[in-house]
Amino acid sequence: MEHGTTPSRGKLAQILFLLAVACVTGCLEEKSEYTINPDFSGKATFEFTFTPSHIAQSAPPDAPEQIIKPEIERMLKESKGIDTWKDISFGLTDEGQAHFIGTAYFPDINKLSLRRPQVNEIGRAQFTKDESGRIIVELSLLADSKKSSPTETTTKLSEAELRQQVKLAKLHYNQIKPVLQVAIGRLKQDSLLHLPAKIKKVSHIKKVDDKTVRYQMQGSEVIETMDTLMADDERLKRLIREGKTSFDDAGLSLFNEVIFGGDEPIQVVTEADTRNLFDYNAEVAAARSKYDQMLEELKLSLTPPEPVKIPVSSTKRAEPGTVTVGGVQLIRYQDRDREIKPLRKFETGYTLSLIIELPEPNLTVVQGQVTKAVTDTGQNILPEKKRETSFPELSKDGGAAVFEINLSLPDKKVKAIAELSGTLGYLKSAGTKQIDLGLMDFKAGTKSQVEGFSISSAGLSWNKRNGTIGLKVGLLRGHLKSTKFYREDGTELEVSQNGISYSEDKLLDIGYMTEGPLPPRGRIVLEVIDEPTKHEISFTLTNISLTGEPL
């Protein structure tokens, strides 16, 4: 009687799903070309074609590629281990897909972490040297899983029980197959790797020439391979008997066996005689000298402008009972690699939403900050950074403001907050003034006669009946009261606001839509508060539960 080990229910099907995802480390379609020096510094040209998950609200008709700017900016900002970029371009394909290409320079390929669109990086190549100086490149999957994967409890299986486990594996694979087809069916990866020495040995990867290998993978082929495996009962029995049920050494062997037909690792070994393929420092210096100009031409913004500070003229203490906790959010666990994001967030932490009754109605409220946050156990939960409140919102009657504060995660022993203190800002002025931007062409890139104001976009709306115009402004948040547009002959245009963007306490861009087509020229006049002074309301809450109730 044959015996085997039993994985937890559906475990094998889950592993096959992870294997399929792990083998594709790109987006919808990725082409990449790496050039590596002996010290593991290098450069890589990446080309991605994908469906963006983050797009702008609108884009100028003459530059539709600007709609995918948020996705490109996110990729550049969140990638790590990169010294600089060069030759970046992006746009839209005829099929409506986003397209990006750019070359990144990195001092150590083992520390390179590229924020790819759509798909997290699950598999990566590890570069090492042995005692003789040979370079060894090996594709590792979920490298940390050996440390974190729990040891499974196994029991002996009879032949009949083994057949039942095979049926269960097929059942669970059939359940996840539609998800696989959607998630990876159209995924492709094609990567070239140029190495600084002659290649001595390769396994499960194509050798192109003496110093170059090529790695190719298609999601559709992975699914076909899985289909073949799930149709082979004897092979499934053997895998279950061998206990290949997790991403330990056996699991990695399973990946190579299923996808490549053998149990050797995906590996490249070079000879010890290495030579630099390019001058890293010289090329990085040249790329850096053109980097800022490249970003400006592409209209990419990776560093938000510094917030403008206004001195505080006075501070007024909030009366007892005028500050209450309206809501709370506490996240203790998340896992970005596994796409586990409670409350749709990838950050642990503790957030309170506060409601404060204002000393005067309809104040122009602005950000404040948290100054003290201590729990009943004495733990300081004041964050090291981001102590500013969110930008407040006024109630309909103008008598109250609602804002959020972010705190560090309280220890599990914490039952209450002993003291929470902070301030909320508001602006006052003697009146308003007008800023006349002067007669100007209503087209993207036009700068006004007033410094800091320009037209960022202009064109037609989606229905081709209304005009759209984006205005880049140099104002603090809360300073703008109204905006009026005039035709060249002085008659007023009917406009409505349809978008706005901020950075910290600075107002960046405002989008407008006109009733009817946008004229070629006109005048824009803004009404803003004149010579504002900043004031603060200080508040303190004591002895409240973690859910915000007074104790």
3-state SS string for 30-63: EEEEEEECCCCCEEEEEEEEECCCCCCCCCCCCC
Spatial CB neighbours of 450, under 8 Å, sequence gap ≥ 6: 435, 436, 437, 438
Which residue would you say has higher pLDDT here, 522 or 23? 522
Query: Do 417 and 546 form a contact (C-beta atoms < 8 A)?
Result: yes
Q: How far apart are CA 460 and CA 516, in angstroms?
A: 9
At 344 the pLDDT is 79
Between CA 291 and CA 284 the distance in angstroms is: 10
Fold for 312-429+535-545, please state it. Answer: Immunoglobulin-like (2.60.40)
Cβ atoms within 10 Å, residue 541: 21
pLDDT value of position 263: 55
**Residue 390, C-beta contacts closer than 8 angstroms, at least 6 positions apart:** 367, 403, 404, 405
Q: List Cβ neighbours of 498 (8 Å cut-off, separation of 6 or more).
A: 57, 58, 468, 511, 512, 513
Q: How many CB atoms lie within 10 A of CB 131?
A: 6
Q: Are 192 and 205 in contact (CB under 8 A)?
A: no
Query: What percent of the chain clears pLDDT 70, i.e. is strictly above it?
Result: 81
Residue 150: predicted pLDDT: 41
Residue range 473-477: mean pLDDT, rounded: 81
Could you tell me which residue, 482 or 26, shows the higher pLDDT? 482
Q: What is the pLDDT of residues 1-53, one digit of tens each?
A: 333 333 333 344 444 444 444 444 334 788 999 999 999 999 999 999 887 76
Average pLDDT over residues 304-312: 58
The order of strands in the sheet holding 533-545 is 312-317, 533-545, 416-428, 364-375
Split at pLDDT 50, 70, 90, the class of 379 is very high
Q: Tell me the average pLDDT across 349-360.
A: 91
Residues in the chain: 551
Please state whether 222 falls in left (phi above 0), alpha (psi between -120 and 50) or beta: alpha
What's residue 96's pLDDT?
81
Tell which wins on pLDDT, 119 or 234. Answer: 234
Measured from the Cβ of residue 320, the count of other Cβ atoms closer than 10 Å reads 9
Q: Determine contact, residues 171/270, Cβ cutoff 8 Å.
A: no
Model confidence at 140, pLDDT cuts 50, 70, 90, reads low
Residue 390 has pLDDT above 90, yes or no: no
Q: Above 90 in pLDDT, residue 486? A: yes
Q: Is the pLDDT of residue 444 over 90?
A: no
**pLDDT over 90, % of the chain:** 37
Residue carrying structure tokens 């002659």 = 198
pLDDT tens sequence across 487-499:
999 999 999 988 8
Q: Which amino acid is at 544?
A: I
Q: Are strands 188-194 and 29-36 parallel, antiparallel or unpaired?
A: parallel
| pLDDT tens digits, 100-126 | 999 999 999 998 988 877 555 545 688
Per-residue pLDDT at 180 exceeds 70: no
| Residue 66 pLDDT class (50, 70, 90 cuts) | low
pLDDT for the residue numbered 258: 55
Residue type, 62: D
Is a pLDDT exceeding 70 seen at residue 185? no
Helix (H) or strand (E) holding 290: helix 280-298
Q: What is the mean pLDDT of residues 199-215?
A: 90
Query: Which has the closest alpha carbon to 246: 144, 387, 375?
Result: 144
Residue 164 structure tokens: 């039942």
Asked whether 394 and 365 are in contact (CB, 8 A), the reply is: yes
Higher pLDDT, 469 or 242: 469
Mean residue pLDDT across the chain: 80
Least confident of 51-60, 72-81, 189-198: 51-60
Q: List every span in the chain annotated with CATH 2.60.40.
A: 312-429+535-545
* Structure-block tokens of residue 298: 């592409």
Nearest to 39, CA basis, from 285, 274, 288: 274
Spacing of C-alpha 166 from chain mean position: 39
Mean pLDDT to the nearest integer, 415-435? 89
- pLDDT, residue 240, reads 76
Helices (H), 388-546: none
Query: What average pLDDT does the segment 451-478 reach?
Result: 85
* Residues near 276 by beta carbon (within 8 Å), at least 6 away in sequence: 37, 38, 196
Residue 291 has pLDDT above 90, yes or no: yes
- Residue 321's pLDDT is 77
Task: Give residue 143's pLDDT.
Answer: 38
* Amino acid identity, position 107: P
Q: Could you write out the DSSP letters of every residue in 58-124?
A: ---TT-GGGGGHHHHHHHHHH-BS--EEEEEEEEE-TTS-EEEEEEEEES-GGG-B---SSS---EE
Instruction: Please give the pLDDT value at position 418.
Output: 96
Token readout for 218 is 């298609």
Tens digit of pLDDT for each residue in 252-289?
445 555 555 555 667 899 999 999 999 999 999 999 99
Does 246 have pLDDT greater than 50? no
Q: How far is CA 52 from CA 314, 325, 349, in A?
A: 47, 37, 28
pLDDT of 248 over the 50 cut: no
